[in-house]
């Protein structure tokens, strides 16, 4: 064995999604035709950021906004976020209760660090994005709930109830990455009631149970699906809820790196103190531009109308195609799209034989077969903490060209038909 570094670095698990995405990109760069549905990102040639936001960013650089921003986010941006949140989400916070950073990740990390001590219980459902890694960073106890298709892969109050006693953090995400599904109103209300009751049972001075509520995809809902949040449903949740949001997904601006949190001021202040040593600030010019853009309601409405329609078309077209393959007798399925940029798809192919006689013995074999024969790259739910034998996958449409959908489904159908 070589020289050891810190226990954290030696035990850290790399991101399966980043690793898979890198491998797929390498194959594409070598000229291979692959339908890449792995990344929770956007192809800017298909889904550019709003023109008004781009113009504001260019203008901000021309005005030489290239120095350090305020550590907690520029005052004009924090006020713009507060106004946007009040107007679009009917949530009323003060600028002092808002913290800006370079996207959602540093804010989630800071929340974990501000709330969770070594050995504390962190409750989260799988499949979900990165909760396992942040819990590991804090050397906390993983209290994991495995959600399944019967609940659209969202945790329920009955699943969470026996696990919240003594916990420090409950990590929730809706609309959820990787599933593209959402909490319905009644279930989220029941979960809020559990949190309120748990906190009421704790003695004065005891650490409270906080909820990290990631609503990064909150504006990307389809059909009659509505986005709900804990504080609007139960105002008593305000003192326990930390929101995570950003321009990253709702404006296809993943690389622009402007995210924000809002929540109890004491928690926000501690998160700010932690990030002051990390330096995970959103860039100055992008902050200035976002502050101006968030006030442009008509531009936002016009952008979202088109953006959501394009995403929904892709999600529904692929869902319909998977359903047709299922009706043709193939062991596949898909959850009807609700929100975000993801479709939850099932490839239950373990035990099948390829034309060459190879048995698909594991879900990794299934993934490899789909990539080799259907040229289809999707992310298995085990990359999001689900069981290694889960047949479910995340399919992301952020880089999907509409004209590729028919060809992808045809190739997939041929690959499924070739199995015995």
Q: Are strands 35-36 and 376-377 parallel, antiparallel or unpaired?
A: parallel
Global pTM value: 0.95
CB 338 within 8 A of CB 225: yes
- Residue 126 sits at the vertex; the CA angle it makes with 121 and 127, to the nearest 5 degrees, is 150
Domains and their CATH numbers in the chain: 7-47+301-417 (3.90.1150.10), 51-296 (3.40.640.10)
Q: How far apart are CA 259 and CA 91, in angstroms?
A: 17
Q: 338-349 b/e with 16+ CB inside 10 Å = b?
A: bbbbbbbbbbeb
Residue 165 CB contacts under 8 Å (≥ 6 apart), including other chains: 198
pLDDT tens digits, one per residue of 188-246: 999 999 999 999 999 998 999 999 999 999 999 999 999 999 999 999 999 999 999 99
Reduce the DSSP state of residue 212 to 3 states and report it: strand
Q: How confident is the model at residue 352 (pLDDT cuts 50, 70, 90)?
A: very high
Q: Residue 186, Cβ neighbours under 10 Å: how many? A: 11
CB 381 within 8 A of CB 394: yes
Give me the helix-helix angle, 297-327 and 405-417, nearest 10°. 20
pLDDT at position 29, please? Answer: 87
pLDDT at position 3, please? Answer: 73
Say if residue 175 is preceded by a cis peptide, omega within 30 of 0. yes
pLDDT tens digits, one per residue of 302-336: 999 999 999 999 999 999 999 999 999 999 999 99
Question: Around 299, how many Cα atoms within 13 Å sit in the side-chain half-sphere?
Answer: 15
Asked whether residue 62 carries a pLDDT value surpassing 80, the answer given is yes
Q: How confident is the model at residue 27 (pLDDT cuts 50, 70, 90)?
A: confident
CA-nearest of 47, 76, 15 to 256 is 47
CB 194 within 8 A of CB 164: yes
CB 58 within 8 A of CB 66: no
Average pLDDT for 250-265 = 98
Residue 326 CB contacts under 8 Å (≥ 6 apart), including other chains: 332, 333, 334
Mean pLDDT of the chain: 95
pLDDT at position 130, please? Answer: 92
Reduce the DSSP state of residue 308 to 3 states and report it: helix
Q: Residue 83, Cβ neighbours under 10 Å: how many? A: 14
Q: Residue 222, Cβ neighbours under 10 Å: how many? A: 19
């Amino acid at each position: 064995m070589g020289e050891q570094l810190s226990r954290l670095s030696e035990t850290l698990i790399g991101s399966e999604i980043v690793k898979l995405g890198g491998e797929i990109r390498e194959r594409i760069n070598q000229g291979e035709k692959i339908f890449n549905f792995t990344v929770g990102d956007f192809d800017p040639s298909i889904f550019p950021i709003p023109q008004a936001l781009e113009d504001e960013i260019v203008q901000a650089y021309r005005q030489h906004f290239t120095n350090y921003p305020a550590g907690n986010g520029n005052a004009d941006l924090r006020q713009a976020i507060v106004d946007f949140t009040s107007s679009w989400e009917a949530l009323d916070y003060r600028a002092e209760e808002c913290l800006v950073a370079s996207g959602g990740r540093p804010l989630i990390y800071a929340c974990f660090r501000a709330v969770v001590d070594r050995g504390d219980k962190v409750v989260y459902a799988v499949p979900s994005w990165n909760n396992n890694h942040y819990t590991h960073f804090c050397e906390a106890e993983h209290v994991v709930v495995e959600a399944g298709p019967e609940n659209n892969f969202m945790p329920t109050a009955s699943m969470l109830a026996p696990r919240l006693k003594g916990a420090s953090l409950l990590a929730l995400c809706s609309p959820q990455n990787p599933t593209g599904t959402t909490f319905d109103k009644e279930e989220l209300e029941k979960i809020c009631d559990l949190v309120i009751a748990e906190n009421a049972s704790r003695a004065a001075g005891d650490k409270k149970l906080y909820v990290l509520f990631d609503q990064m995809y909150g504006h990307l809902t389809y059909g009659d699906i509505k986005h709900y949040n804990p504080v609007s449903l139960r105002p008593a949740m305000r003192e326990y809820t930390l929101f995570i949001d950003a321009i990253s997904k709702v404006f296809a601006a993943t690389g622009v790196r402007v995210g924000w949190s809002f929540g109890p001021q004491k928690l926000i202040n501690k998160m700010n103190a932690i990030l002051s040593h990390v330096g995970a600030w959103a860039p100055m010019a992008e902050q200035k531009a976002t502050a101006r853009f968030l006030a442009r309601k008509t531009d936002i409405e016009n952008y979202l109308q088109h953006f959501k329609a394009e995403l929904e078309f892709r999600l529904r077209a692929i869902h319909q195609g998977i359903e047709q393959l299922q009706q043709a007798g193939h062991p596949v399925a898909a959850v009807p799209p609700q929100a975000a940029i993801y479709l939850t798809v099932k490839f239950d192919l373990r035990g099948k034989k390829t034309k060459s006689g190879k048995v698909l013995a594991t879900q990794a074999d299934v993934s490899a077969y789909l990539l080799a024969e259907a040229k289809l790259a999707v992310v298995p739910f085990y990359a999001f903490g689900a069981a290694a034998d889960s047949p479910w996958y995340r399919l992301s449409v952020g880089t999907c060209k509409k004209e590729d959908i028919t060809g992808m489904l045809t190739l997939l159908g041929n690959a499924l038909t070739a199995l015995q």
